[in-house]
Chains A and B, each alone.
Chain A
Amino acid sequence: MFTLDRAMAAWLLKPGHRAIYVIALAVMVSCSIQTSVMAAEMPLTHNNQVQQPALTGEDIIMESLRRHELYPYVYEEQSLILMDAKQHRDVRRMKRYSRLEPGGTFKAMLTFTYPESIAGAALLFTRQQDGERKKRFYLPALGTHLIEYTGGVAGSQMLGSEFSLEDLMPEDMDAFEYHRMKDVIDGDNAYFVVQAISKRDKTNVRRSYAERKLLIRQDNFFVTHVDYLDQKGALVKRQTRHDIHQVNGEMWRADMMMAENFLNHHRSILKVDRRVYSSDYVPEFIFDISSFVPATSQPAAESSDPNPEVAEEAP
């Protein structure tokens, strides 16, 4: 060793050799750093292991749907807070009923309960298994009939809020192509990033955005974050989900969603005040027009508290 050190020292003392030594050292350090970075960026599983690259974007979305969105009967009492650019607020309260039929038909109904001037107004949404959709409105002041509402721009503002109808319904996988992008780590959590682009030829629906980027937690496949981008790749809207908690088994839910529009600087917040997973709360007949006139039917177990606390009943 001593001889080796002396030889090395003698080598270093020669002109030009010192520079070679420094360069070699720099290369070694650089390689170490690169390796560390690459290691850090490697996707991890919820067990902090590097993610299997096998899952595609479509797989991830499918898994997310399977775990969280396909419960057949969900009843929610919601507060919708609309904020404009000057922070002025409007509050609306609604009840949401959703049913997923065994044949694959999805039905949802939103009924307004507050303010008084719009109480009783309802939106009825149906999506058949073949993708056919129908939106119908009931306006109590207009008369005792449903009005079919067609056209519009998919993904655009609904009911005066920054939420689109798609935001409030389960993901329609037939309408989009999904591409998995590079995973990210934010804080303690790792996320899948999936790009969703509209399948125009299939749906022929014009959208207010060009693509979405969904951030999905890798540990529970829950969508926490959706960015809406325009043709130039600029961010036009962002939807985030908060107060996330495990309901049962693999199913998670968020009690608050926020949508922020970066063009008009408006924000909308949807808070779930109460959620019930029960067919008793979402009977079949609730989607019939007869239940709208003169007022929407209420399940017997309803609370009349104008300010309900979050009370969730597990399925």
Chain B
Amino acid sequence: MNRILMFGLHHRLLLLLVLTVLTALAATGMQHLHIDTGTENMVAKGSAKMQIYESVVEEFGSDNQTLIFTRDPSLWTTDKLHALKALHVRLASLESVQRVEDIFTLRNLRGKQDAVSSKLLMDHIPENQKEVDQLKENVLYNPLVKGNLVSAEGNALAMIVTVQPAAMKTLGHAGVYEAIQQAIEPSAEHFERLFQIGSPRIQMEMESTLFTDMRTLAPLSAAVILLVILLFMRSTAAGFIPLVTAGISLIWTMGMMGWAGIPVNILSAMLPTLIIVIGSTEDTHLIGSYLDARRAYPDQEPEFCVRKMLRKMGLPLLLTISTTVLGFAGNIFSSMELIRDFAIASSFAMLANGLVTILLVPALLVMMGSSKKSGQPATEGGFLSRLVLKLNQKSNLSIQRLLLGATLLLCAFFLFEASKLYVTNDPMSYFKQDRPLIRDASEVNQYLAGIKTFFISVQSDKEEAFLQPRNLRKLEELADFIGKQGVFDRTVSLVDYLKLMNREFHAGDPQWYQLPANKELVSQYLLFMHRQELQRYVSHDYRRGVIVVRHHISDSNMLNRNIDELRQVAQEIAGAELQVDIVGENLMINEEADTLLHAQVESLMIFLGIIFLLMSAMFTSFKGGLIAMVPSVIPIILMFGVMGLLGIPLNPGTAMVAVIAIGIAIDSTIHMLSSYNKHSRMMGDSVQAAQQTVREEALPMITTSVALSLGFGILLASDFAIIGQFGALAAATMLFALFANLIVTPLIMSRVRLVGLYDILALSVDKESLSGCQLFHEMSDYQIRKAMLISEVNDYSEGAKIIEQGCLDRSMYLLIKGEVDVIRHSQDGDEIIARLKPGEVFGEIAFVREIRRTADVCAVNSVSVLRFDCERLKRDLRFFPHIVAKLNFNISYILGERLANTFKD
């Protein structure tokens, strides 16, 4: 491990060369980058629903259309109608447009006695107002038009534009949007409101917003990080090194995405910010440690200080990089491509940043850190640190209980608020509510049927099933139920056309607005319809009928609930003979919301489990794992509680906050627990060790947490609501984690003693002094270190009494340094029974069973001992029975030997 950490230090030139080559290689991949803001990547591919949806779309046409919305109080005048006609002609003449459906292309059917007239709704524009009013009356007479293409009052209307599929591929969404926009612009002055809305516009706005975000957020976050680090660390190198490592990582990440074909999507727009913000934390820790070393060894060369830094920070750095990567990688198994692509890109970015940090930062520090003035950080901790220390210093039971109790209550409250959490995955909800796109969609919904569509497909295994009135009646029943549900705007199916024809073929008598009575009449009415009019609603062999439903619901929860109800009722109405499927792209995207929730819970559980195991391994005890969980779980609860309280939904952005934020916050926990371990071994007093830990770790923790919060807070400037929500929540979670790490964790850890794996590995065992030590006879190095680190190191000056005769005590001692005398006091005077040397054990009888000490043990000279507390040993080595067995055996041997010697004497 040391070789890896020191590589950058020892081979600076080679490292720079390799990094330059790799960066250049990665840069060439950037030209292959492509953007994908399509809604297809918000749906799980290959699912059964997707297959049914694709078959429905293939048969009946796409549910993706663009709507040109017009509103004007005096829409029904000759001038306005001429302007509309001109607009229609311009749209229809666009090469990218396949078809325009509006009042100029739809047929109207009017019946009177023994006569039916079928003509275009508007085959010519009337020249006088009376005729215009008649025209309006005709238009609103048609139930397929009213509320669908023309508002109920007639002051708003829509032109539905179907784009050539080939044009979408050649021009792209932006190109199609621009072409349509150029066609509608000349007409804008004629109407109060005129705009287009649909898939091209939504995609175009997503793309442009994505570019804007990437252009503005990254520089902002870089500036914020630079300021924060300069403020706290007061070192120019400390400010710029993170930007260098972030820049290189970003190029590598973008290059990898280009080579691997991973598209840039709306979530990956925040990658530059994440790399800069998160990557800077590791650099800050390293540089902080380097600056400490410079202050401690002002006369030493930078290389010496860098080595000190690496020895201290090496393993924690590797662990924190791993947890961060794991946090991001937790979303790799999401069924949603949008999240999966982001997870791959972001975990690679964190890994790349970690690698670059480990290799490059030591080299950069050596090159840049030769100045004696290497930064003087702000006074130790500042106000916050002093407050935290004060809280820890007043370590009386009542304050601690109050703090822990308050934390528990807070968590309980936020857990309750978290139960109100709701999930949404609607693409329109990705935008901020004040955006023109959202306002325009609301306006359309106000006057006409919503722009979102789904299909209810009803299928029979018999040909001509939907020429039979009994099956058509089932479609009618479904449509009636949807009307009663009151949540969806409009339904259109073959039934509506047939009812209209039946009414008009009976001279317009409203009583005849019903389905034809028999199959023959249905077939004969359909003679008047062309296949292209029918193909949207019934298959060519009449086996399958479709109801097209339009709505404007953006709340996934509400939509899913109503769709579930509809599914149930639909199958009941259809019966056993017919198969009902309710499909739509918008539907599938919203149904992914449920998957989002389950995936979030799953990835969080897995991640917490991994953290638990990692921490347990690190501290060689499950207790350590559990303690490490506390500062992870508290922020999660608080975060979800805030979401529930403020009504922030769980969406593709906010769904990732928990695992990512915890993956970052755990870094501070690792640093804190490691530091606590070190101090508790040296000080022997857990409370003092906790205070010293807080004193040392408060500043870097506050620095990194504040920097992270501010960095994430920059994402609030995004035009995407989900990115802003992600940023706000992540920032808040960093602060929650700071609270947990600085306030709650010290209170808990002062009550426990943990032995870190690192401590075990790093402990330098003096083999000579312990050679022949019977207590550790036939024990491996690891077992010896484990046993030793359960103990406490105590130092005594010459003449100090270590054990007092007659006292009750359950400790056993191993002499490490110096010599001690065992002195028995009796009526006959004091007798030195034995003089013990390093490696010898004393106090073992009381360790085995509780009895009063039989003699004093006093230090002859300056002495260091390891004190083994019986209860603590039993507790901490509970899961290490082999070590316990060997210790017990060795203690028995020592006792036996003592007994034998006594008899010999």
Q: Would you call A245 an interface residue if the criterion is a C-beta within 8 Å of the partner chain's C-beta atoms?
A: no
Query: A88 vs B527: C-alpha distance in the bound complex, in angstroms?
Result: 17
| Stretch of A11-19, A100-108, A151-159 on the interface side | A151-159
Interface residues of chain A: helix, strand, loop or mixed (majority): loop
Query: A82 vs B544: C-alpha distance in the bound complex, in angstroms?
Result: 19
Measured between beta carbons, the chain B residues less than 8 angstroms from A121 are 524, 527
Q: Would you call B645 an interface residue if the criterion is a C-beta within 8 Å of the partner chain's C-beta atoms?
A: no
Jot down 7 A-B pairs with beta carbons below 8 A, ordered by A.
Answer: A84-B535, A84-B540, A117-B524, A140-B520, A141-B518, A153-B123, A160-B526
Query: A84 vs B533: C-alpha distance in the bound complex, in angstroms?
Result: 12
B105 to chain A, nearest CB (A): 10
* Interface contact B467-A151, CB-CB below 8 Å: no
Query: A147 vs B123: C-alpha distance in the bound complex, in angstroms?
Result: 23
A65 to chain B, nearest CB (A): 29
Measured between beta carbons, the chain A residues less than 8 angstroms from B120 are 153, 206
* Interface contact A139-B524, CB-CB below 8 Å: yes
B115 to chain A, nearest CB (A): 4
Cβ proximity bits A77-104 to B, threshold 8 Å, 1 near / 0 not: 0000010101010100000000000000
**Cross-interface CB contact of B530 among A112, A148, A150, A160, cutoff 8 Å:** A160
* Interface contact B531-A160, CB-CB below 8 Å: yes
Given A146-B114, A147-B114, A159-B527, A118:B119 Cβ within 8 A: no
B523 to chain A, nearest CB (A): 4
B69 to chain A, nearest CB (A): 25
Measured between beta carbons, the chain B residues less than 8 angstroms from A153 are 119-120, 123
A167 to chain B, nearest CB (A): 15
Q: Would you call B208 an interface residue if the criterion is a C-beta within 8 Å of the partner chain's C-beta atoms?
A: no
Q: Would you call B167 an interface residue if the criterion is a C-beta within 8 Å of the partner chain's C-beta atoms?
A: no
Measured between beta carbons, the chain B residues less than 8 angstroms from A140 are 520, 524
Measured between beta carbons, the chain A residues less than 8 angstroms from B442 are none
* Most chain A CB inside 10 Å of its own CB: which residue of B521, B524, B535: B524
Measured between beta carbons, the chain B residues less than 8 angstroms from A112 are 527
Cβ proximity bits B510-536 to A, threshold 8 Å, 1 near / 0 not: 000000101111111111111110010
Measured between beta carbons, the chain A residues less than 8 angstroms from B519 are 117
B669 to chain A, nearest CB (A): 62
* Interface contact A266-B521, CB-CB below 8 Å: no
A207 to chain B, nearest CB (A): 11
B507's nearest neighbour on chain A, judged by CB, is: A147
B457 to chain A, nearest CB (A): 17
Cβ proximity bits B322-349 to A, threshold 8 Å, 1 near / 0 not: 0000000000000000000000000000
Q: Would you call A262 an interface residue if the criterion is a C-beta within 8 Å of the partner chain's C-beta atoms?
A: no
Query: A266 vs B526: C-alpha distance in the bound complex, in angstroms?
Result: 17
* Most chain B CB inside 10 Å of its own CB: which residue of A112, A118, A141, A206: A141
Q: Would you call A298 an interface residue if the criterion is a C-beta within 8 Å of the partner chain's C-beta atoms?
A: no
Given A117-B520, A148-B116, A152-B118, A142:B505 Cβ within 8 A: yes
Measured between beta carbons, the chain B residues less than 8 angstroms from A159 are 527-528
* Most chain B CB inside 10 Å of its own CB: which residue of A150, A151, A153: A151
Q: Would you call A149 an interface residue if the criterion is a C-beta within 8 Å of the partner chain's C-beta atoms?
A: yes
Q: Would you call A129 an interface residue if the criterion is a C-beta within 8 Å of the partner chain's C-beta atoms?
A: no
Given A82-B531, A266-B532, A141:B521 Cβ within 8 A: yes
Q: Would you call B117 an interface residue if the criterion is a C-beta within 8 Å of the partner chain's C-beta atoms?
A: yes
Measured between beta carbons, the chain A residues less than 8 angstroms from B527 are 112, 118, 121, 139, 159-160
Q: Would you call A279 an interface residue if the criterion is a C-beta within 8 Å of the partner chain's C-beta atoms?
A: no
* Interface contact B540-A86, CB-CB below 8 Å: yes
* Interface contact B523-A232, CB-CB below 8 Å: no
Q: Would you call A242 an interface residue if the criterion is a C-beta within 8 Å of the partner chain's C-beta atoms?
A: no
Q: Would you call A170 an interface residue if the criterion is a C-beta within 8 Å of the partner chain's C-beta atoms?
A: no
Measured between beta carbons, the chain B residues less than 8 angstroms from A145 are 114
Q: Would you call B182 an interface residue if the criterion is a C-beta within 8 Å of the partner chain's C-beta atoms?
A: no
Spell out A's residues near B (CB within 8 Å).
Answer: 82, 84, 86, 88, 90, 112, 115, 117-118, 121, 139-142, 145-153, 157, 159-160, 206, 232, 264, 266
Measured between beta carbons, the chain B residues less than 8 angstroms from A142 are 505, 521, 524
A-B residue pair count with CB separations less than 8 angstroms: 84
Query: A89 vs B593: C-alpha distance in the bound complex, in angstroms?
Result: 42
Query: A108 vs B116: C-alpha distance in the bound complex, in angstroms?
Result: 20
Given A149-B118, A150-B115, A153-B120, A118:B523 Cβ within 8 A: yes
* Interface contact B540-A88, CB-CB below 8 Å: yes
Measured between beta carbons, the chain A residues less than 8 angstroms from B117 are 149-151
B59's nearest neighbour on chain A, judged by CB, is: A86
* Interface contact B119-A152, CB-CB below 8 Å: yes
Query: A141 vs B535: C-alpha distance in the bound complex, in angstroms?
Result: 24
Those 8 A-B pairs whose CB atoms lie nearest each other, nearest first: A151-B119, A117-B523, A141-B521, A88-B540, A141-B520, A148-B115, A151-B117, A139-B524
B351 to chain A, nearest CB (A): 49
Measured between beta carbons, the chain B residues less than 8 angstroms from A84 are 531-532, 535, 540
Measured between beta carbons, the chain A residues less than 8 angstroms from B116 are 147-150
B96 to chain A, nearest CB (A): 15
Measured between beta carbons, the chain B residues less than 8 angstroms from A151 are 117-119
* Interface contact B530-A157, CB-CB below 8 Å: yes
Measured between beta carbons, the chain A residues less than 8 angstroms from B93 are 232
Measured between beta carbons, the chain B residues less than 8 angstroms from A146 are 114
B539's nearest neighbour on chain A, judged by CB, is: A88
Query: A149 vs B112: C-alpha distance in the bound complex, in angstroms?
Result: 11
Query: A186 vs B505: C-alpha distance in the bound complex, in angstroms?
Result: 48
Query: A264 vs B531: C-alpha distance in the bound complex, in angstroms?
Result: 10
Measured between beta carbons, the chain B residues less than 8 angstroms from A139 are 505, 521, 524-525, 527
Measured between beta carbons, the chain A residues less than 8 angstroms from B781 are none
B93 to chain A, nearest CB (A): 7
Q: Would you call B480 an interface residue if the criterion is a C-beta within 8 Å of the partner chain's C-beta atoms?
A: no
Question: Other than the known A84-B532, A266-B530, what 16 A-B pairs have Cβ atoms closer than 8 Å?
Answer: A84-B540, A88-B541, A90-B531, A139-B505, A139-B524, A140-B520, A141-B523, A141-B524, A149-B115, A149-B117, A150-B115, A150-B116, A151-B119, A152-B119, A157-B530, A160-B531
Query: A142 vs B464: C-alpha distance in the bound complex, in angstroms?
Result: 20
A127 to chain B, nearest CB (A): 18
Give residues of chain B (71-94) contacting chain A, Cβ–Cβ below 8 Å. Answer: 93
Given A150-B116, A153-B123, A118:B531 Cβ within 8 A: no
B788 to chain A, nearest CB (A): 80
Query: A202 vs B531: C-alpha distance in the bound complex, in angstroms?
Result: 32
Query: A270 vs B121: C-alpha distance in the bound complex, in angstroms?
Result: 30
A261's nearest neighbour on chain B, judged by CB, is: B532
Query: A151 vs B504: C-alpha distance in the bound complex, in angstroms?
Result: 14
Query: A145 vs B506: C-alpha distance in the bound complex, in angstroms?
Result: 12
* Interface contact B114-A117, CB-CB below 8 Å: no
Give residues of chain B (485-516) contacting chain A, Cβ–Cβ below 8 Å. Answer: 505, 516
Query: A165 vs B528: C-alpha distance in the bound complex, in angstroms?
Result: 13
Give residues of chain B (460-479) contacting chain A, Cβ–Cβ below 8 Å. Answer: 464, 467
A198 to chain B, nearest CB (A): 14
* Interface contact A266-B531, CB-CB below 8 Å: yes
Measured between beta carbons, the chain B residues less than 8 angstroms from A86 are 540
Query: A139 vs B526: C-alpha distance in the bound complex, in angstroms?
Result: 11
B532's nearest neighbour on chain A, judged by CB, is: A264
B540's nearest neighbour on chain A, judged by CB, is: A88
B502's nearest neighbour on chain A, judged by CB, is: A142
Given A139-B521, A152-B119, A232-B93, A90:B540 Cβ within 8 A: yes
Query: A120 vs B176: C-alpha distance in the bound complex, in angstroms?
Result: 49
B471 to chain A, nearest CB (A): 14
Measured between beta carbons, the chain A residues less than 8 angstroms from B530 are 157, 160, 266
Query: A201 vs B535: C-alpha distance in the bound complex, in angstroms?
Result: 36
